[in-house]
Amino acid sequence: MSWSASTAPPVDSRGRRVPAVLRECWAAIFRRRWVAVVDGRSMEPTLSEGDRLLIRRCAPAGVRRGDIVVAREPLSTLPGRLVVKRAVAVPGDPVPPRLGLAGDVVPEGALVVLGDNPDQSRDSRDFGYLPASHLLGVAVRTLIT
Protein backbone atom coordinates (compact mmCIF):
# COMPACT_ATOMS: atom_id res chain seq x y z
CA MET A 1 0.00 0.00 0.00
CA SER A 2 1.34 3.44 -0.81
CA TRP A 3 0.53 6.61 1.13
CA SER A 4 -0.85 9.68 -0.59
CA ALA A 5 -0.45 13.14 0.90
CA SER A 6 -3.97 13.07 2.31
CA THR A 7 -3.69 9.66 4.01
CA ALA A 8 -0.09 9.71 5.20
CA PRO A 9 0.27 9.19 8.96
CA PRO A 10 1.54 12.15 11.04
CA VAL A 11 5.29 12.48 11.42
CA ASP A 12 7.24 13.72 14.45
CA SER A 13 10.01 16.35 14.33
CA ARG A 14 12.59 13.71 13.36
CA GLY A 15 10.55 12.46 10.42
CA ARG A 16 9.30 9.31 12.17
CA ARG A 17 5.69 8.21 12.00
CA VAL A 18 3.72 8.85 15.16
CA PRO A 19 1.77 5.73 16.15
CA ALA A 20 -2.01 6.12 16.17
CA VAL A 21 -2.22 4.94 19.79
CA LEU A 22 0.16 7.68 20.91
CA ARG A 23 -1.79 10.31 18.97
CA GLU A 24 -5.02 9.14 20.60
CA CYS A 25 -3.44 9.24 24.08
CA TRP A 26 -2.28 12.83 23.60
CA ALA A 27 -5.68 13.83 22.21
CA ALA A 28 -7.42 12.30 25.23
CA ILE A 29 -5.14 14.15 27.65
CA PHE A 30 -5.75 17.49 25.98
CA ARG A 31 -9.52 16.96 25.85
CA ARG A 32 -9.58 16.39 29.61
CA ARG A 33 -7.27 19.21 30.70
CA TRP A 34 -7.15 22.91 29.90
CA VAL A 35 -5.76 26.13 31.35
CA ALA A 36 -7.85 28.83 33.05
CA VAL A 37 -6.56 32.29 33.98
CA VAL A 38 -7.76 33.87 37.24
CA ASP A 39 -9.50 37.21 36.65
CA GLY A 40 -10.33 39.11 39.82
CA ARG A 41 -9.56 39.00 43.52
CA SER A 42 -12.22 36.60 44.79
CA MET A 43 -9.74 33.80 45.56
CA GLU A 44 -7.02 35.87 47.26
CA PRO A 45 -4.77 35.08 49.06
CA THR A 46 -4.80 31.54 47.60
CA LEU A 47 -4.88 32.70 43.97
CA SER A 48 -4.02 36.09 42.51
CA GLU A 49 -5.27 37.78 39.38
CA GLY A 50 -3.37 36.41 36.38
CA ASP A 51 -2.56 33.04 37.98
CA ARG A 52 -2.91 30.15 35.54
CA LEU A 53 -4.59 26.95 36.65
CA LEU A 54 -4.42 23.53 35.06
CA ILE A 55 -8.03 22.32 35.04
CA ARG A 56 -9.12 18.70 34.83
CA ARG A 57 -12.57 18.19 33.36
CA CYS A 58 -14.62 16.03 35.69
CA ALA A 59 -18.13 14.96 36.57
CA PRO A 60 -19.73 16.50 39.65
CA ALA A 61 -19.07 13.25 41.53
CA GLY A 62 -15.33 13.96 41.07
CA VAL A 63 -15.47 17.13 43.21
CA ARG A 64 -14.35 16.88 46.83
CA ARG A 65 -14.91 19.37 49.60
CA GLY A 66 -12.05 21.90 49.47
CA ASP A 67 -11.37 21.55 45.73
CA ILE A 68 -11.00 24.69 43.64
CA VAL A 69 -13.50 24.45 40.79
CA VAL A 70 -14.20 26.31 37.56
CA ALA A 71 -17.82 26.72 36.52
CA ARG A 72 -20.15 28.82 34.41
CA GLU A 73 -21.49 31.65 36.58
CA PRO A 74 -25.20 31.00 37.24
CA LEU A 75 -26.40 34.62 37.30
CA SER A 76 -24.12 36.07 34.63
CA THR A 77 -25.66 38.13 31.86
CA LEU A 78 -22.47 37.56 29.88
CA PRO A 79 -22.53 34.23 28.04
CA GLY A 80 -19.54 32.06 28.85
CA ARG A 81 -18.50 33.96 32.00
CA LEU A 82 -16.62 31.58 34.29
CA VAL A 83 -15.95 31.63 38.02
CA VAL A 84 -13.13 30.09 40.06
CA LYS A 85 -14.33 29.15 43.56
CA ARG A 86 -13.74 26.67 46.36
CA ALA A 87 -16.23 23.83 46.82
CA VAL A 88 -17.16 24.04 50.51
CA ALA A 89 -19.98 21.48 50.42
CA VAL A 90 -20.88 18.66 48.02
CA PRO A 91 -24.11 16.64 47.73
CA GLY A 92 -24.98 15.02 51.05
CA ASP A 93 -22.91 17.49 53.13
CA PRO A 94 -24.60 19.73 55.68
CA VAL A 95 -25.38 23.21 54.35
CA PRO A 96 -22.85 25.65 55.87
CA PRO A 97 -24.53 27.90 58.44
CA ARG A 98 -25.25 31.57 57.72
CA LEU A 99 -25.53 31.08 53.95
CA GLY A 100 -29.31 31.28 53.88
CA LEU A 101 -29.67 28.30 51.55
CA ALA A 102 -32.75 26.10 51.62
CA GLY A 103 -32.48 22.71 53.30
CA ASP A 104 -30.17 21.12 55.83
CA VAL A 105 -28.22 19.02 53.32
CA VAL A 106 -26.75 19.94 49.92
CA PRO A 107 -29.02 18.26 47.35
CA GLU A 108 -27.85 15.96 44.56
CA GLY A 109 -26.86 17.91 41.47
CA ALA A 110 -25.63 20.94 43.42
CA LEU A 111 -22.51 22.34 45.08
CA VAL A 112 -21.90 25.13 47.56
CA VAL A 113 -18.98 27.31 46.40
CA LEU A 114 -17.33 30.29 48.08
CA GLY A 115 -14.47 32.59 47.22
CA ASP A 116 -11.52 32.69 49.63
CA ASN A 117 -11.87 36.51 49.75
CA PRO A 118 -15.49 37.02 50.85
CA ASP A 119 -15.49 40.80 50.38
CA GLN A 120 -14.56 40.43 46.69
CA SER A 121 -16.53 37.30 45.78
CA ARG A 122 -19.85 36.52 44.09
CA ASP A 123 -20.59 32.98 45.16
CA SER A 124 -23.23 30.73 46.73
CA ARG A 125 -24.09 33.53 49.15
CA ASP A 126 -25.33 35.45 46.10
CA PHE A 127 -26.57 32.81 43.64
CA GLY A 128 -27.39 29.90 45.96
CA TYR A 129 -26.47 26.37 45.05
CA LEU A 130 -24.21 26.00 42.02
CA PRO A 131 -25.97 23.58 39.65
CA ALA A 132 -23.67 20.66 38.89
CA SER A 133 -24.45 21.19 35.20
CA HIS A 134 -22.44 24.44 35.40
CA LEU A 135 -19.28 22.65 36.60
CA LEU A 136 -16.45 22.59 34.05
CA GLY A 137 -13.63 21.09 36.09
CA VAL A 138 -11.34 20.99 39.11
CA ALA A 139 -8.01 22.80 39.47
CA VAL A 140 -5.15 20.32 39.48
CA ARG A 141 -2.33 22.80 40.06
CA THR A 142 -1.20 26.38 39.62
CA LEU A 143 1.11 26.80 36.64
CA ILE A 144 4.26 28.90 36.96
CA THR A 145 4.27 31.78 34.50
Residues involved in catalysis: 42, 85
Q: Minimal CA–CA distance to 131: which of 55, 69, 78?
A: 69
Angle at 69 between CA 61 and CA 65, to 5 degrees: 55
With the C-alpha atoms ordered 38, 40, 41, 42, is the resulting torsion angle positive or negative? negative
Edge-to-edge, what's the strand order for the sheet holding 68-72? 33-37, 52-56, 135-143, 68-72, 82-89, 110-114, 130-131
Cα 84 from Cα 52, distance rounded (Å): 11
Residues 6+ apart with CB under 8 A from 55: 33, 34, 35, 36, 70, 136, 137, 138, 139, 140
